[in-house]
Amino acid sequence: MLIRHGQSTWNHEHRIQGQLDPPLSTEGRRQAELLAPRFSGRTVAGFYASDLKRAFETAEILAPSIGLRPEAASSLREIFLGEWEGLTTEEIAVRYPEAWASWVEEPDWDTVPGGEGAAPFDARVGAALEAILGVHPQGDVLVVTHGGVIQIALHRVVGRPSRGLFPFKIQNASISLIEKRNGRMVIGGVNDIAHLEAALVTDVGPG
């Protein structure tokens, strides 16, 4: 079960986060509080979260319903976005016009100046998820992480690299499900936000 963190203060400002560390906004905390009852009474074999504030704070709000403390994992962090971190898209377009024009034409993590890059990000997320599945070959596992990480996980199931393309809508405090059936991974659901109040359904980009 892949959970995107609640809205952060920078999500609200439409500011690029990457691996910078803004906390949850007031709305984000409320999103997590509404999400928590979805797991009441459910037995979870493992509970992991990115160690960035917006994800780990979300996990801490879920913890009482789950009955476990989340294990922090830096490997579940969002992609590092180099010189773009902390900027709005308008600021990026002014400061990095060529790279931004290339991104708009065809998104690719490799165009981000000083960023982690597509292949290293894919490899990091893949290794993190495989390690978690290795520890928990059976049972439900809850992972609270970021939009880009969830996109990578879904792309790996369908056998296509992401490289910065985001065809799946992954909103704040949403649930996406990957299941193992007969030895194969399948996507069981994407972007479940049934628990959210209409006013708290946010449509912001990855991070």
Cβ pair 21, 50 in contact under 8 A: no
Q: Which of 5, 12, 14, 136 is catalytic?
A: 5
* Alpha carbon distance 64, 99 (integer Å): 44
Q: Which two tokens stand for residue 48?
A: 């992991």
State whether residue 164 is helix, strand or coil.
coil
| Strands of the chain, DSSP E | 2-4, 46-50, 71-73, 141-145, 175-181, 184-192
146 is catalytic: yes
Q: Which of 12, 14, 136, 146 is catalytic?
A: 146
* Alpha carbon distance 5, 62 (integer Å): 11
Known catalytic residues are 5, 146
